[in-house]
C-alpha cells in the first residue's frame, strides 16, 4: 500500500473550517470520543472544536506548523467531520478541495510522486 501522506506537511483543513458536530460526539456517556474540554458550545445541538469558531480558525488539537509538519493531538478520537474530509477520492485521485484550500492559504499544490499509483494507472492486459 502506498504510504505517501501529504497531510503530515499540510494541515490547512484544520485551519479553515469551523469544525462542528453533534454534542454527543464529545460526551463519553453517549459513546463520544472527542475530549469535551477541547470543544465549545455552539447551541443546544452542536459543539465545535475550540479555535475553529473564529475569523482565522485553527483547531486547538492541531500541533506543529501548517505547511511544514503537523499532527492531530486527538487523531484516534477526532470527530466525524474530521474523519469525513477525504484526502483521496474514491477513484484514488487527490481531493481537489485540498489543492483549493492550500492555494487559499498560500501553499503550493501537492505534487504526487512519480511512482504514485494515480500517476501509473494499470495498463490493459496484453493480448498475445
Question: Binding residues for ligand SF4, per CB under 6 A?
Answer: 6-7, 10-14, 19, 49, 59, 61-62, 72, 74, 78, 82, 85, 87, 95, 98, 101
Q: How far is the CB of 120 from ligand SF4 (least distance, A)?
A: 21
d(CA 74, CA 82): 11
Whole-number minimum distance, CB 12 to ligand SF4, in Å?
Answer: 5
33 or 127, CB closer to ligand SF4? 33
Q: How far is the CB of 24 from ligand SF4 (least distance, A)?
A: 16
Judged by beta carbon, residue 19 or residue 47, the one nearer ligand SF4 is 19
Q: Which residues contact 79 (CB under 8 A, 6 or more apart)?
A: 19, 21, 25, 26, 33, 34, 49
What is the spatial distance between Cα 86 and Cα 90, in angstroms, rounded to a whole number?
A: 9
Of 4, 33, 11, residue with least CA distance to 21: 33
Amino acid at each position: 500500500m502506498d504510504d505517501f501522506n501529504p497531510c503530515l506537511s499540510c494541515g490547512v483543513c484544520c485551519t479553515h473550517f469551523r469544525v462542528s458536530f453533534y454534542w454527543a460526539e464529545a460526551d463519553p456517556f453517549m459513546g463520544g470520543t472527542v475530549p469535551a474540554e477541547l470543544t465549545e458550545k455552539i447551541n443546544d445541538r452542536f459543539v465545535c472544536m475550540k479555535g475553529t469558531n473564529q475569523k482565522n480558525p485553527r483547531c486547538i488539537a492541531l500541533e506543529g506548523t501548517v505547511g511544514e509538519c503537523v499532527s492531530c493531538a486527538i487523531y484516534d478520537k477526532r470527530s466525524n467531520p474530521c474523519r469525513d474530509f477525504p484526502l483521496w477520492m474514491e477513484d484514488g485521485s487527490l481531493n481537489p478541495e485540498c489543492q483549493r484550500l492550500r492555494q487559499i492559504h498560500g501553499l503550493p499544490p501537492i505534487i504526487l510522486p512519480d511512482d504514485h499509483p494515480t500517476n501509473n494507472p494499470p495498463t490493459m492486459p496484453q493480448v498475445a
